Chains A and B, each alone.
Chain A
């Protein structure tokens, strides 16, 4: 049975319609006879078309585009770090964990109060702080840490150094990789588990549904942060493990409940009955018909999942509970450990770059999630 070809006029296709009814057969088959074109090619074209439509809708959302721009900036930062380390930055100075550099000032040791504090230092202070055997008239070299940003010189530090003489910009760029990695692991795990659990619970119903949903209730009871604090004492918490744990906890919990209700609205559609009548097995119906229709909503939760995972990771490393080398949370943690917590604007490069980086990457993913929400839920559109 070959349906009659429909005239190709895309301009009049309704906006937001992603089902094949509005698609011309000619476009899907590339002009060839429908029966001779393999099914996967048609599916691919359909997918590309619906993605293109979603992109068109998303592009109209200015805030969503702003979020995408923010994410792209962070991605560029993550890529820039290894390149800079390999070319411009000398690892001895710029390594985010082991690097060391300091602005060294020369002082002359004088008896009593120094008349010029910029070049002179009193004998008592020099003996107490630097070298107990030093005498009047000698010169002494004192490193300044944390050093303010320097834009010139042999080894410029555009965002200064931290209390241990490590370059802040290098730490900032390096941590971006960790954030993306963690966000991706956590979000993919969440969405994979939640979509599968939601679809299975909605399709089978009965005791399977009841069991999975009671389990979700139990997970919801668990306060995430305290549980992760306890788990970080039990397990050697790496980025991958943390991402998986966050993914599993939110995947079986709240997200599964929301995706289940979405899947439930699809299981009652008549094309599911048609697929069953045509002889489709349980798993065929779940993976071929239900899950593809839940996926747009799943992608939405993926974006919010990234936001949440990065915020949780930063909080945990702010408490110093993770076994990782360098993240934005650790940068704030080390500022706190070295006593610069309330330094505010006088040592702004210790607290503000890291805090704003966490904020803006979460901001970006959240904005993209909101933009996608408008694409997925037609009711929210302003047009």
Chain B
């Protein structure tokens, strides 16, 4: 196991250096540089422009620039952004990354919860009329033209019904003169959710330790879930920053629902296919022969094994956080990684653009590793050597 991990990590490091170099080269190939946009004013003399290029190091030979960038990168220096000088790239990305990850993770979890449940159900009741309807809507959601779908969602729920704000992260009027910083409040929200999740997982583990009865386990599990969600809501209800937290949560809802709907279709279809495959296995026949109730066979024997490919595909989807984020964040004006990348590209702010892409690379690499390890953990038939 240890040898496998060490080997993989070494391979990942090499792959990452190659990836970073490729991305760097690709972005360098874009015509023009930041001095085009910063000195668009015709009154600025040509010497000033040359000086700007010299200050930013853009006049040096390409390979010098490359080695400077790579050595600095691995020293933990991503440099300062050109277009948002003197902000550091790392700082900009550090505020943007949680926003994108929260959007993506909550949408994925919501989609997984709903998609896995309905996929399980339609595979179990194969041939029922509701199956066809769900499959068709699942395929529709999977193939829908995503930017158009997001626009229609924004128009319908944000504009026509007025249930949700139209885009953006916070309501500027509410936050004007507020004693809180939006990023701090958002950070506290994330921390509180993580703490509650960890407590919930520990609780589930304890329930399993102290009870062998499946029904008791499930009842206590449900009670614990209600307790966790209720506790979280109560905590923020009593918090002095209540209105501000509610504002951020309100802005988060529509993009999350939109992303989740699209992911829902894919997850449901994948679960159904995996479930159908599992249901043909011998151990399902054994379970039936033992006289186990239907729901135990479905939930405990079949669905657990059908979960494998679905989980791995979700982890692999981590690689597409930024790619998928670009469309969502543009349409919902959500200031995350995708929007920052797009803005950086528009003004050839190279350090910021490379920084954003390098984070995608890291996420993708660890996603692949996590998928492999998770697969071996979930499926005892697979051994990592």
Contacts and interface: CB of A to CB of B under 8 A. Distances in A.
Interface of A: 63, 214, 217-218, 220-227, 229-231, 233-234, 307, 311, 314-315, 318-319, 328-329, 332, 336, 341-345, 351, 354-355, 358-359, 362-363, 366-367, 370, 379-380, 382
B359 to A, nearest CB: 11
B348 to A, nearest CB: 8
Given A220-B319, A225-B326, A233-B31, A362 B151 contact: no
A331 to B, nearest CB: 10
B26 A218 contact: no
Nearest to B322: A223
B143 A307 contact: yes
A235 to B, nearest CB: 9
Given A229-B342, A332-B148, A355-B148, A222 B19 contact: yes
Contacts, number: 125
Contacts of A217: 15, 368
B319 A223 contact: yes
A219 to B, nearest CB: 10
Contacts of A341: 151, 155
B147 A221 contact: no
Question: Chain A interface mostly helix, strand, loop or mixed?
Answer: helix
Contacts of B324: 225
Contacts of B160: 344-345
A218 B20 CA distance: 11
A347 B158 CA distance: 17
B255 interface: no
Interface string B12-37: 00010011001000110111000000
B350 to A, nearest CB: 11
A60 to B, nearest CB: 15
A307 B327 CA distance: 18
B4 to A, nearest CB: 16
B357 to A, nearest CB: 6
B130 to A, nearest CB: 15
B32 to A, nearest CB: 9
B320 A355 contact: no
Nearest to B348: A233
Nearest to A217: B15
Q: Which of A218, A342, A362, A367 is packed against the most chain B CB atoms within 10 Å?
A: A342
Interface in B139-184: 139-140, 142-149, 151-152, 154-156, 158-160, 166
A314 B361 CA distance: 25
Given A218-B18, A229-B342, A380-B276, A234 B31 contact: yes
A218 B11 CA distance: 11
B341 interface: yes
A366 B159 contact: no
Those 4 A-B pairs whose CB atoms lie nearest each other, nearest first: A355-B148, A358-B145, A362-B143, A225-B323
Contacts of B145: 311, 314-315, 328, 355, 358-359, 362
Contacts of B30: 230, 233-234
Contacts of A218: 15, 18-19, 22
B273 interface: yes
18 contacts: A218-B18, A218-B19, A221-B361, A223-B320, A223-B323, A223-B360, A225-B324, A226-B360, A229-B342, A233-B31, A318-B147, A318-B148, A332-B151, A336-B151, A342-B158, A344-B152, A359-B149, A367-B139
B203 to A, nearest CB: 37
Interface of B: 15, 18-19, 22, 26-27, 29-31, 126-127, 135-136, 139-140, 142-149, 151-152, 154-156, 158-160, 166, 273, 276-277, 280, 319-320, 322-324, 326-327, 330, 341-342, 345, 353, 356-357, 360-361, 364-365, 368
A221 B160 CA distance: 40
Contacts of A224: 323
Nearest to A228: B323
Given A224-B323, A225-B326, A234 B148 contact: no
Contacts of A329: 147
Contacts of A221: 15, 19, 319, 361, 364-365
A234 B29 CA distance: 6
Nearest to A373: B273
B345 A366 contact: no
B344 to A, nearest CB: 10
B160 to A, nearest CB: 6
B357 A223 contact: yes
Contacts of B127: 382
Contact of B345 (A230, A315, A345, A379): A230
A118 to B, nearest CB: 26
Contact of B152 (A63, A336, A351, A379): A351
A230 B353 CA distance: 10
A19 B140 CA distance: 36
Contacts of B280: 379
A342 B26 contact: no
Contacts of B322: 223, 226
A355 B22 CA distance: 34
Contact of B273 (A63, A358, A362, A380): A380
B280 to A, nearest CB: 8
A327 to B, nearest CB: 12
Q: Which of B142, B143, B342 is packed against the most chain A CB atoms within 10 Å?
A: B143
Contacts of B273: 380
Contacts of B26: 227, 230-231, 234
A222 B25 CA distance: 13
Contacts of A345: 160
A237 B149 CA distance: 25
A342 B146 contact: no
Given A341-B155, A355-B148, 15 more contacts: A63-B136, A222-B19, A226-B356, A231-B26, A311-B143, A315-B146, A315-B327, A318-B148, A329-B147, A342-B155, A343-B155, A355-B145, A359-B143, A363-B139, A379-B280
A266 B280 CA distance: 24
Contact of A363 (B143, B319, B361): B143
A344 B154 CA distance: 10
A359 B148 CA distance: 9
A342 B364 contact: no
A217 B29 CA distance: 23
Contact of A342 (B135, B159, B361): B159
